[in-house]
Amino acid sequence: MRDRAQTLKAQPPYPGRPIVVALVACVGEKLDHAAPARDLYVSQWFRKARRYAEQFGDQWYILSAHYGLLAPDEERAPYNVTLNEMKVPDRLTWADRVWPQIRAAAPEPQRDRIVFLAGKHYRHHLAERLLVLGYDVELPMEGLGIGEQLAWMDRAAAAVRG
């Protein structure tokens, strides 16, 4: 069986192929000063998820509990907010705010593939909406614990290096 990383990399870059948009969840471990979003989050998990998104995605964004959808080059200050500690109505409000941002970043449901590198609280209310519109939604690490996710991302990177 082919690893997910090999499958994504094997797709030819021809016109009409899916545009892969990776959505990476924010993490609690951040710099203590403003920085581009790609550098603001400093945990081992985020660094590996970023590497995966850069290797296999045509575009990638960060799902920030505080700022919404962030492009990697957007400069932002650190914050202390997580969806994991929010109640369901607050997560729904967040999803309502982020939803149009994702639609703007990936405007073609019949073409764009959305890959969530995010826990259930970050993807639940978004993935359902994307599926209804016809997006191809992937949750490659669903059901894996943090250690298993780290190992999975390492295997994906190794598959690229060959």
Q: State the pLDDT at residue 157.
A: 83
What's the alpha-carbon Rg for the chain, to the nearest Å?
Answer: 15
- pLDDT, one tens digit per residue, over 57-102 is 999 999 999 999 999 999 999 999 999 999 999 999 999 999 999 9
Lowest-pLDDT range, 51-55, 123-127, 158-162?
A: 158-162
125 within domain boundaries? yes
d(CA 125, CA 88): 10
DSSP string, 82-129: -GGGS-HHHHHHHHHHHHHHHHHHS--TTTEEEEEES-HHHHHHHHHH
Q: Report in angstroms the alpha-carbon separations of 75 from 41, 83, 98.
A: 12, 21, 18
Mean pLDDT of 151-158: 90
CATH code at 111?
A: 3.40.50
63 within domain boundaries? yes
Count up the domains in the chain and report the number.
1
Other Cβ atoms closer than 10 A to 39: 14
143 within domain boundaries? yes
54 within domain boundaries? yes
Q: Which domain holds residue 115?
A: 18-161
